[in-house]
Amino acid sequence: MKYKVVIGLEVHCELETKSKNFSPAINTFSNIPNENVATVDLGLPGILPVPNKEACRRALMTAMALNCTTPDEVLFDRKNYFYPDLPKGYQITQMTKPMGRNGYLDILVGKDIKRVYIHQLHLEEDTASLEHRSAYSLIDYNRSGIPLMEIVTEPCIESAEEAVRFLEDLRDVFIFLGVSEARSNKGQMRCDVNISLMEEGSKTLGTKVEMKNINAFTSVKDAIEYEIKRQTKILENNEKVIQETRRIAEDGKTYAMREKVDAVDYKYFVEPNIPPVPLTKEYLDSIRATIPELKLARYQKYIEKYKLSEYDAGVLSANKETSDYFEQVLSYGSDIDLSVNFVTTAILSTIKKLEIELKDLFITPKMLSDVINLVHKNDMSLDHGKKLLYKAIEEKTDPMEIVKRENLHQINDETELLALITTLMDENKEQVRQYVEEDNKAIINFFIGQTMKKSNRQANPNKSLEIIKIELEKRKKNNETK
């Protein structure tokens, strides 16, 4: 029997803000325990939460980018439960009016677009972190109160590949929007996976198994693939899948943690300390206006509008820095093919070699576009252009300065080239003789080399070649007629 895989994801992402979500403590990752904690984050008696405007803005912006509907006001709820990482005994979250509802994200799976539906997006606070040692556990409240966005998909993902692709693309959305760096190795992005199998053609969903708090995307893939195998085997043996929470271990297998007896009642109710703040159309519009074009849209634009290869489009839209850089180079009217060539080779290889980020590279998009224009106008060879660029990087000098200083414009003037080449032939009579009398074709290359050397590599190589050939032939004919 064939089974259809049904996966739903709950993705948590910490937002980058200066201060925490409900307190003025600094929001930053720290290895020094309990140094970024305000009264509110510790749940001391008498504390009151005051929501962070920027965190709300970022959550709303993400909701819009994910095509969600937004609420008419900011409102928070309490989720009540006891756990040592939850100092207040409740988490402030959103239930009544989440920042986003009913959205979607289009992802590219192979060559096809798959639409992943978003059930809701809400803003909440992170918990404290627990460190488990052999005989006891330790609580660090630094993480307590960091703004956390949760995105819940509909159960519409059908494979491990789709799940991972969605997570990668969602992370790109966060990064393109600039709301979070979403680094999973720092635990900034984590996800819960719900997975069930249903018989092909059936309309009833199978029993759901939940896997919580997976950091790495590769683990998500392993966990899903393992679960599909495990659950398929159970169903094929005509046994029942148990509704439970499982954890993923380092061996890539999943292990039962606890059976879900009955659902926990979190006794949600509206947070009475946070009066609703209306969201005006003007405010929402102003947020919408700051949303940049996202990755998939750029990729499609590069292929359809700029006619790039899928490969180049992929490289150039891979991250926002590269894509923004590339588009800025184009904004100066640079030739598209040359821009693609320069960015994908010279620029990207340089930052890789120097181990720096694009924003730290000395060459600005304007500088690069100047070099590209020189090459495009045939004022400089492609090869020469790249060398100029490397030199500019090395000297941390504007390439146009170098051009001016070293008089690097390409010699295209044929009279000038002819004079130069004639002089060279007069100076190298023996080589001319070898061509004329022995028909030694290698002599052509000798004179190209000499021309480039003498001209400081500024001579237009194609034109020089033409002239050298003509001049040598001329001398050969003269010799024959003599």
Residues that bind another protein in the complex, under the rule CB under 8 A: 17-19, 23-26, 32-39, 41-56, 74, 78, 80, 82, 84, 87-90, 130-141, 257-258, 265, 267, 269-270, 272-277
Q: Which is nearer to another protein, 24 or 178 (CB)?
A: 24
- Residue 55 or 468 with smaller CB distance to another protein: 55
Q: Is the dihedral of CA 229, 12, 60, 152 positive or negative?
A: positive
- Comparing CA positions, the residue from 119, 116, 95 lying closest to residue 106 is 116
Residues 82, 78: Cα–Cα separation, whole Å: 13
CA 35 to chain centre: 31
Residue closer to another protein (CB basis): 110 or 272:
272
Output 6 or 75, the one with its CB closest to another protein.
Answer: 75
**Which residue's CB is nearer to another protein, number 51 or number 206?**
51
Comparing C-alpha atoms, which of 112, 212, 214 is closest to residue 167?
A: 214
Cβ-based neighbours of 287, under 8 Å, separated by 6 or more: 57, 60, 61, 64
In the numeric block, which tokens belong to residue 271? 């947070």
Q: How many angstroms separate the CA atoms of 177 and 183, rounded?
A: 15
Query: Nearer Cβ to another protein, position 89 or 333?
Result: 89
State the amino acid at position 197 in one-letter form: L
Q: In angstroms, what is the minimal distance from the CB of 185 to another protein? A: 21
CB of 383 within 8 A of CB of 345?
Answer: no
The residue among 266 and 446 lying less far from another protein, judged by its C-beta, is 266
Q: Which of 49, 21, 29 is nearest to 147 (CA)?
A: 21
Structure tokens at 344: 């994908």
Distances from the Cα of 414 to the Cα of 248, 324, 384, 463, 466, angstroms: 72, 41, 19, 7, 10
Q: How far is the CB of 285 from another protein (least distance, A)?
A: 17
How many Å apart are CA 272 and CA 90, to the nearest integer?
Answer: 13
Is 260 or 476 the residue whose CB approaches another protein more closely?
A: 260
Minimum distance from residue 15 beta carbon to another protein (Å): 10
At 451, give phi and psi (nearest 5°): -60, -45
**Which amino acid is residue 113, in one-letter code?**
I
| H/E element, 3 | strand 3-14
DSSP 39: G
Q: By C-beta, is 260 or 391 nearer to another protein?
A: 260
Give the integer Cα–Cα distance in Å for 332 and 263: 59
Query: Which one, 45 or 201, has the nearer CB to another protein?
Result: 45
List Cα–Cα distances, 446 to 167, 382, 450, 460, in angstroms.
58, 22, 6, 16
Amino acid at 236: E
Nearest approach in angstroms of CB 283 to another protein is 11
Nearest distance from residue 117's CB to another protein, in Å? 25
